[in-house]
Amino acid sequence: MAAINEVTDLVTEDGIAVLTINSPPVNALSFPVRDGLFHGMSRAIEDASVQAVVIICAGRTFIAGADITEFGKAPRGASLFDVQQMIENAPKPVVAAIHGTALGGGLEVALTCHYRVAVPSAKCGLPEVNIGLLPGAGGTQRLPRIVGPERALEMVTSGEHVPAKQCLAAGLVDELTEEGKLREGAIAFAKKIVAEKRPLKKVRDLNEKVESARGKPEIFADFRKANAKRFRGFMAPDHNIRCIEAAVNLPFDEGMKAERALFQELVTGIQAKAQQYSFFAERTAAKIPDVPADTPTLPVKTLGVIGAGTMGGGIAMNFANIGIPVTIVETSQEALDRGLATIKRNYDNTAKKGKLTQAQVDERMGKLTGTLDFGALANVDMVIEAVFENMDLKKEIFAKLDATAKPGAILASNTSYLDVNEIAAATKRPESVIGTHFFSPANVMKLVEVVRGDKTSKEVIATVMALSKKIGKVAVLVGVCFGFVGNRMLAQRQREAQKLVLEGALPWDIDRVLYDFGMPMGPFAMSDLAGLDVGWNKATSKSSTLREILCEMDRRGQKTGAGYYDYDAQRNAKPSPVVEKVIADFASKQGINTRAISDEEIIERTIYPMINEGAKILEEGKAIRASDIDVIWINGYGWPVYRGGPMFYADTIGLPKVLDVLKQLQAKHGDDFKPSALLEKLVAEGKSFRDL
């Protein structure tokens, strides 16, 4: 075995050179990997005894892409382009041997090899779009030459990881080898192509599929139109599409130039920075300073859920999906039946879309057991309570759980706002109590705020963080405070949105501005969807807020056909002249003089106090880091990932400006805008949230 450098080595067996990359965790194309590939290839080419070369990786995966941490740094050593030229122009066959995931630059390296083999569990993809980029090493020019422009458009704009079997069918992979026997399989394949004297197949020369799409601009126009909503606000998808257009319309080398220019535009832009920040922020959130990675975790093989309502049902599905049996406890047969029927309907809908088989639906439903017997929770490893948001009820349930659950069982509450310490105090084992705040719909939304009580044990925290990842969620650890991180910040926005409406902005103006900012919907459309009557009581309603007045008029949201908006039979929203009049009357009764309100003011009034609240949350230690707050907003509330989250966004505006605007708003509108001490301190020190 000859080491090329610290991360690559080259060994020749029976005329086949095996160039192995070993650069954990994911064999990203860092400077030493590129250099190792370059020098390893050149040595194998020079060695007359070598008849073919196999490029393979050690560890969990084939090359997972460029090393994202190197972006923006001065280039060093062999460039990726140099490596690819060396491989593609090699005078002997080069075979990529793929396991794990060949992603981004990794797949682009494989596409310059003359042949590709993979184990059945491998996946290939060009996920650059998800970090605000496009495949910048020929991926957009080579991929459509194999899979055709239509499939390439889907792959580069979704970033999907395509399973090896599909890759084989599409011609992206030439042969599948036996699982676990990649090295042997790849060497055997290399020997076979040498023996058969197969040509040095260069993907760049395969022109048939791109040429046949030439002169058909409708392919791209239709694709853009069909996906306009999905791509809204993002720069990268359209840049990716333009690259595939270039592959179709230009000769290979010209297409490569177009790809390079478009890549440069993205890589230097703020969206790519925000999306890469978000990629690392999500992974950083899993790291808790005083709960190290080697903290022992508790086995969770069975789960109990209390309450089969909106949240309990969705939560149960997450666990049934990964094969964990769930016991669901309700107070009435009717509520239980309704809850289980909703779950079944959700699974059936997924099956109708072809994403689950009937057998899978049956298997998952088979994991769920409904009961009215609280005692059925005696042996489960973890219980998640999802009953009404009422402290007395939650305390009663936790006291009962304390008497019922086995020692060591994790006792979690899905409360959205309530004090987890107070809930824990209802038990004699507060170390086992934790908050797991899922977001609605709980089977879909990725976020879980994991709420750490004063006495929650480290084992319980480590277990719940790891378990959340296992069920496909992004978990962020937060401290106890009213509404935790997400809802506490949301309350700032909601308050200002309500105030702005009385000052002269209409609900649809505010919704439009926040939608255009990139949020999935504005606060008023959101209220209409959720129902204005959540928490409203007819008996005590006194027309004292706009919401009360609308509920009293039976304008309770989409479900009654009217709320802030009017709705037609298809639930399309239209601005409501009735509501406009209600607002005007209410404002005048309150003695408020309405005025014209600019879009800029709407942003400043609704978003800046959220940033300020985020700073207070950090100051109080309720979130570990600013990036955790951003992860919460992106995954729980649909904050546009291309703006990186509220704290990243604040850094991009510049904290001095944020502070200045808050001070002006404080002077005009009072202490709701009083800047946090942390914000003042950061500005005084010339720092940003990123520096914390």
Catalytic residues: 108, 128
Q: Is 77 helix (H, G, I), strand (E, B) or coil?
A: coil
Which listed residue (44, 66, 122, 382) binds ligand 3HC by CB under 6 A? 66
Selection from ligand 3HC, ligand NAI, none that 128 binds (CB < 5 to 8 A by kind) is: ligand 3HC
Any contact of residue 136 with ligand 3HC (CB under 6 A)? yes
Cβ count within 10 A of residue 403? 11
CA-CA-CA-CA dihedral for 473, 477, 480, 484, to nearest 10: -50
One-letter-per-residue 3-state SS of 412-451: EECCCCCCHHHHHCCCCCHHHEEEEEECCCCCCCCEEEEE
Residue 567 DSSP class:
E
Which of 170/335 has CB closer to ligand NAI? 335
Which of 351/399 has CB closer to ligand NAI? 399
363-to-288, 320, 325, 360, 444 alpha-carbon distances in Å: 35, 9, 11, 5, 19
Which listed residue (106, 307, 479, 645) binds ligand NAI by CB under 6 A? 307
Which of 57/451 has CB closer to ligand 3HC? 57
Which of 387/618 has CB closer to ligand NAI? 387
Any contact of residue 137 with ligand 3HC (CB under 6 A)? yes
Token pair 């404002």 is found at 587
Question: Are 450 and 622 a contacting pair, CB within 8 Å?
Answer: no
DSSP for 368-419, written as a single string: EEEES-GGGGTT-SEEEE---S-HHHHHHHHHHHHHHSPTT-EEEE--SSS-
Helix (H) or strand (E) holding 278: helix 270-284
Any contact of residue 329 with ligand NAI (CB under 6 A)? yes
CB of 692 to ligand 3HC, least distance (A): 19
The HSE-up count of residue 362 (CA atoms within 13 Å, CB side) is 3
Which of 24/441 has CB closer to ligand 3HC? 24
Any contact of residue 330 with ligand NAI (CB under 6 A)? yes
**Structure token digits, residue 432:** 């086992």
Question: What does residue 367 show for φ and ψ, rounded to 5 degrees?
Answer: -80, -10
Nearest CA among 460, 128, 395, 82 for reference residue 263: 128
Any contact of residue 19 with ligand 3HC (CB under 6 A)? no
CB of 438 to ligand NAI, least distance (A): 6
Which listed residue (283, 301, 345, 687) binds ligand 3HC by CB under 6 A? 283
CB of 281 to ligand 3HC, least distance (A): 10
Any contact of residue 387 with ligand NAI (CB under 6 A)? yes
Token pair 């090359």 is found at 63
Helix (H) or strand (E) holding 582: helix 577-589
Any contact of residue 269 with ligand NAI (CB under 6 A)? no
Residue range at the interface with ligand 3HC (CB under 6 A); choices 133-141, 237-245, 327-335, 667-675: 133-141
Any contact of residue 36 with ligand NAI (CB under 6 A)? no
Any contact of residue 320 with ligand NAI (CB under 6 A)? no
593-to-498, 511, 606 alpha-carbon distances in Å: 15, 22, 20
What end-to-end distance do the CA atoms of the chain give, in Å?
Answer: 46
Question: Are 380 and 408 a contacting pair, CB within 8 Å?
Answer: no
Nearest CA among 547, 551, 555 for reference residue 495: 547
653 contacts: CB under 8 Å, gap ≥ 6: none
Which listed residue (3, 6, 13, 69) binds ligand 3HC by CB under 6 A? 69
Helix (H) or strand (E) holding 224: helix 218-226
Selection from ligand NAI, ligand 3HC, none that 465 binds (CB < 5 to 8 A by kind) is: none
Any contact of residue 411 with ligand NAI (CB under 6 A)? no
Which listed residue (36, 40, 132, 135) binds ligand 3HC by CB under 6 A? 135
Any contact of residue 255 with ligand 3HC (CB under 6 A)? no
Selection from ligand 3HC, ligand NAI, none that 64 binds (CB < 5 to 8 A by kind) is: ligand 3HC
Selection from ligand 3HC, ligand NAI, none that 25 binds (CB < 5 to 8 A by kind) is: ligand 3HC
CB of 272 to ligand 3HC, least distance (A): 10
CB of 448 to ligand NAI, least distance (A): 10
Size of the site for ligand NAI (CB under 6 A): 23
Q: Provide the pairing of β-strand 162-163 with 123-125.
A: antiparallel
Any contact of residue 103 with ligand 3HC (CB under 6 A)? yes
Which listed residue (271, 302, 414, 527) binds ligand NAI by CB under 6 A? 414
Helix (H) or strand (E) holding 165: helix 164-170
**Structure token digits, residue 463:** 């277990």
CB of 26 to ligand 3HC, least distance (A): 4
Residue range at the interface with ligand 3HC (CB under 6 A); choices 22-30, 189-197, 355-363, 586-594: 22-30
Which of 416/576 has CB closer to ligand NAI? 416
Alpha-carbon gap, residue 384 to 418, rounded angstroms: 15
Residue range at the interface with ligand 3HC (CB under 6 A); choices 87-95, 125-133, 413-421, 456-464: 125-133
Any contact of residue 307 with ligand 3HC (CB under 6 A)? no
Residue range at the interface with ligand 3HC (CB under 6 A); choices 59-67, 390-398, 592-600, 625-633: 59-67
- The residues of the shown chain that bind ligand 3HC, judged by CB under 6 A, are 25-26, 28, 61, 64-69, 101, 103-105, 108, 127-128, 131, 133, 135-137, 139, 280, 283
* Interaction site with ligand NAI (CB under 6 A): 306-312, 329-331, 335, 386-389, 397, 414-416, 437-440
